[in-house]
Structure 1
């Protein structure tokens, strides 16, 4: 065997040894990575999310910690039938299987009820429409209060005994009372307001354009003419019988004409 052949064989042997070593290293690295991922991601390790609804966050935190879970409050809501500050919702839901180290997002009940604008139902909706709008907005209703007005028409909304203004905000879940018309409409006030200052009288004292009303019209009074008997002149006295009274007319006075100085008193004689 020549020198050249020996060198070529040794070179080939080292080459294949290197290839084998690289394969082994790659396999070892793959095993380490996969095992590390399983450990890091807790593969195959699942826990059940406990039911903590209605509990306080500090009480639920211990239960989450024992299971390797992390609790975090992210938002608030409001329910009047639940204690203030208690847990209302959680994500993921109770009973689901999650891996350890999973963050559980909590929604707790607000201490104070949020404010909400009361729908504008006064003077523009019926009782049924107003009740539907208020209940949908999250308010509660007491029996309606009847007031004088058109039947089943809303004339106001009461909160704690006072009337709510348009656009006012009150706590959600508040108890409201609707003021509903009982069908008793006072027409006399409307008629007097409509005709005040608008009635015109003609020359005979009658209404020229009377406003029509539902009340029966009174019969028109007919003027009664009273005829008086002519008075007879008293007979003349016997003493003045046949004697006519004469009226003397005053004659107008004539202005005095100035006399001619050259004329003599005797009109027929001249100087």
Structure 2
């Protein structure tokens, strides 16, 4: 075994294999140097503060590749001005390495309108200011949603949340002015359910529950309304719910059901049935009507001038004491 290992033919094969391996490694590195231009580097030129067109020309002349990226717009610099370059100017790079240029864009990037529909108006103002938009005109429209944003307008045209507009653009807001007070309830009796819904919506009321003659909820738009609560013409505030009763029959055919509903919802309201079927009688004469007698207005009473009577001044009482006479001195006679 050892004799076979020390045979000269074995050593020749080992040496040949080592030589082939070293040759392949040397050829590989030579190929890499040729393919990657190893040892050939180019200095990065300083193109900051140049326009992007001039910077590209300089990089093309030096044989360097480039990539252009944009910053957020800065009004302190000119549009399309090169603000940064990477790698830094003066560093050495290979010819195939790209140079990244950071350029100031022409103007502000467009801004997406935030979702402020149905938001309170002051909260909507804050959201618009946060994204760099201005609040334009505020237009109030009838709506039960008081101070809520209903629509958005830009240059007079409707826009929706998510649309892109220029930064610092003015957005007009359509805001609800709130429900009105003491408004008559619209009459929807005799209308189809679809028509009644539209009338209630146009008058800024809310649709309540829709029942059939068996007090079961229904939603067929072709049904005819034969009863409503509150009643038509009653005074209420906008935004309240109006409950409806609908059927395939006409209101005249539902007379008994209407009487039952009146007994539930309008106990204090009992109109004369002839009111709905008879016409007002204007044939009565007014011959017996007596005109009021003309009464003369009383003449104004002349007021006599009264001279004020001066009151007598009370006599002043003499509070001074009378002067006493001096007493006579007693005389003493000595005999």
- Higher normalized contact order (CA 8 Å, seq sep 6+, divided by chain length): 1
TM-score, normalised by the number of residues in structure 1: 0.42
Which entry has the higher C-alpha Rg, 1 or 2?
A: 1
